[in-house]
Amino acid sequence: MCFAPALAASRRPAMACFSCLFPYLGICPFKLPKTRYQLYYAADPAEFSMPDRKTPSTPTRLDKPLLRLETSGRASKPQPSDNSENRASKVPPSRQPASKNDANRPRRNTADAAGKGKAKSFDKSSGKAGQEPSRKPAAKKPDAAAKKPTPPSLASRRIVYDLLVAVDEGVQLDKALSSNPDLPKLEDRDRRFVRLLATTSLRHRGQLEKVLAPLVSRKPFGAQANANFVLLMGAAQILLLKTGAHAAVDSTVELMRQTGFDRLCGLANAVMRRLTREGEALFDATSHMDNLPGWLQQSWRHYWGVEKATAIAGLAMLPPPLDISVKADAEGWAAKLEARVIDHHTLRREFDGDPSLLAGFEDGAWWVQDAAAALPARLLGEITDKDVIDLCAAPGGKTAQLIAAGAKVTAIDNSRKRLDRLRRNLKRLKLPATLVLADGAAYTPEIPVDAVLVDAPCSATGTVRRRPDILNQREAEDIVALQQIQWNLATTALGWLRAGGRMVYATCSLQPEEGEDIIDAVMDAAEGRFAIDPVTPEEAGIFARSITDQGYVRILPSDYEDIGGVDGFFIARLISLG
């Protein structure tokens, strides 16, 4: 028999279905046609038609047999499905462009690309246009950028250029920053400028590209496509960072030359000079919503309304404050760090430098964690001396909270690199935990546990102000793949609980498909063995305004403009009934 599981019939038609949780049940995986999903995120806004969540056109529900929750005392260990290797990772791999041969897509200016031109053009760039063309193989020709040393004044901008290219190729910004070999060589002031220019260019990329469009008659493409990042950086400096016109023009033209695009220096000069004259008027005609991909604009407007969607987009364009969680004595550390206390737990201060330079960091007194991200762990309640599993634990902010609250924590992650990072963080904080390298959907604890925290991998659309690279690395189709991971982790983790045990499920996503719909589907299939444990206003504290009628917590950044915004989150708490 073949089942077609779907999400939350009471909310809207299914956008995706899940393959079988346990292959040995004999349930056939079933996938809905891709066209069903395109109804939600159409490429052309004119084609967009979002059905009402409350009146689904096709009432379906998740088939009961799909949920077979087990513990070591009930049944044998479940087998992972084919894609289980990605389930417990914190953030799924970034999607690649639909066509890697798209001429308008920026690509790294490699030596091979530079060497594919005609020999005549190569000789011209070196001042030897009249000589016999070189007969050396193209692969041995040096890259134009490698021939010329980068002047110290351009070192920081060249690093920003490299970061933007890496992000466009799918690398996370934080990873690109930490792996760049030249960044540590800069002074602290220059390192801060690198981060500021990179994040500003990424946050406002949509607006800046809209401003540049009428000023560039022929957009660089193919092997020269990455030159667009040089223009993007120049526009960001003039229109957003308010860099002096002379410095912005000169540095952009020289960077164009240093990155190997000598022939486009004239274009860069002309565009930048026009920006100094016309840029402000063109930028005023744009909006923050221009920085969101089309599918995300449509989604937020439908679910949260135009006003809130616009406010969320506006907050996402602002540099985030530094939020800190402490092991103890929040008020005392607030005084030492010149911070204010939010909700009796989180410290918040403005800081654009390296947090590790602040007092208490090296001593392990605190760690960086957004105020909203600190709520899920607290909702497990009193956990002193209780057995708690933190699933998808790295980098360890929530793990540290659980340990500091007195729990005996087992932290699980399926990435060795991420688990090593977690180990280093806990060592600095002097907090003990049992670390397990495992696929969360295939793991089974030796005995049932008191509590589980599932910080599920998600699209992270609630964190775009801290991770602006997400704006150009997520696609609508990612949601479908992530739902499968979230379903498997949530249903597997429920099977680890002893009677009366609690599970908190959380995602830093603003997409209901990854939050409310997952939990609604789980409850439809639970057959009374589990129940929603509603979050109370006393437990939620400052986030009480975000409690829904079902007892979930749906945090929208726009609801917290009064404190400078927070990351977007969805949180639900479930309890095992035996």
Cis peptide before 78 (omega within 30 of 0): no
Pairing relation of β-strands 387-391 and 408-413?
parallel
CA dist., res. 481 & res. 518, Å (int): 13
Distant-in-sequence, close-in-space partners of 474: CB < 8 Å, separation ≥ 6: 94, 95, 293, 296, 459, 460, 461
Task: Give me the pLDDT at residue 149, please.
Answer: 58
Contact status, residue 163 vs residue 181, Cβ threshold 8 Å: no
The two tokens of residue 49 are 């038609």
Residue 2 DSSP one-character state: B
Rounded to the nearest 5°, which phi and psi values hold at 514?
Answer: -100, -5
Task: Write down the H helix ranges in 243-373.
Answer: 245-258, 265-284, 294-316, 330-337
CA distances to 116, 160, 229, 469 from 223, in Å: 9, 19, 13, 23
Residue pair 509/515 in contact (Cβ under 8 Å)? The answer is yes
CB 141 within 8 Å of CB 111 = yes
Element of type H or E holding 410: strand 408-413
Which DSSP string do the residues of 175-195 spell out, in sequence order? Answer: HHHHH-SSGGGS-HHHHHHHH
pTM: 0.76
How many CB atoms lie under 10 A from the CB of residue 443? 20
Cα separation, 205 vs 198, whole angstroms: 10
Contact call for residues 271 and 215 (beta carbons, < 8 A): yes
* 28 classed as catalytic: no
Return the pLDDT at 568: 98
Instruction: Note the pLDDT of residue 246.
Output: 93
Q: How many CA atoms lie within 13 A of 569 on its CB side?
A: 25
The per-residue pLDDT for 150 is 57
- Per-residue pLDDT of the chain (578 residues), as tens digits, is 333 333 333 344 333 333 333 333 333 332 333 333 333 444 443 333 333 433 333 332 333 333 434 433 333 333 333 433 343 444 344 444 444 344 444 444 433 433 333 333 333 333 333 444 444 444 444 444 444 555 656 899 999 999 999 999 999 999 999 999 999 999 988 999 999 999 999 999 999 999 999 999 899 999 999 999 999 999 999 999 999 999 999 999 999 999 999 999 999 999 999 999 999 999 999 999 999 999 999 999 999 999 999 999 999 999 999 999 999 999 999 999 999 999 889 999 987 788 999 999 999 999 999 999 999 999 999 999 999 999 999 999 999 999 999 999 999 999 999 999 999 999 999 999 999 999 999 999 999 999 999 999 999 999 999 999 999 899 999 999 999 999 999 999 999 999 999 999 999 999 999 999 999 999 999 989 999 999 999 999 999 999 999 999 999 999 999 999 999 999 999 999 97
> Residues 161-189, buried b or exposed e (16+ Cβ, 10 A)?
bbbbbbbbbebbbeebbeebeebeebeee
Q: For the chain, which residues make up each domain, given as ranges?
A: 111-286, 321-369, 371-576
- Give burial (CB, 10 Å; 0-12/13-18/19+) of 294: middle
Domain covering 111-286 in this structure, CATH number: 1.10.940.10
User: Do 111-286 and 371-576 come out as alike in CATH topology?
Assistant: no
Domain spanning 371-576: CATH superfamily: Vaccinia Virus protein VP39 (3.40.50.150)
Burial of 400 (0-12, 13-18, 19+ CB in 10 A): buried
Q: Which one from 17, 20, 458, 508 is the annotated catalytic residue?
A: 508
Other Cβ atoms within 10 Å of 382 Cβ, number = 9
Residues 125, 304: Cα–Cα separation, whole Å: 54
* pLDDT, position 153: 62
Residues 6+ away with beta carbon under 8 Å from 308: 300, 556, 558
Contact assessment for residue 570 and residue 557, using Cβ atoms and an 8 Å cutoff: no
> What is the predicted pLDDT for the residue at 151?
61
Q: Counting beta carbons within 10 angstroms of the beta carbon of residue 407, is it exposed (0 to 12), middle (13 to 18) or buried (19 or more)?
A: buried
Read off the pLDDT of residues 229-255 as tens digits, 9 standing for 90 and up: 999 999 999 999 999 999 999 999 999
At residue 370, the pLDDT reads: 97
Mind listing the pLDDT tens digit for each residue in 265-300?
999 999 999 999 999 999 999 999 999 999 999 999
Residue with tokens 């995706």: 16
What pLDDT, on the 0 to 100 scale, is given for residue 351? 79
Place of tokens 């159409």: 42
Tokens 């708490």 locate to 573
pLDDT of the residue at 196: 95
DSSP SS3 for 366: strand
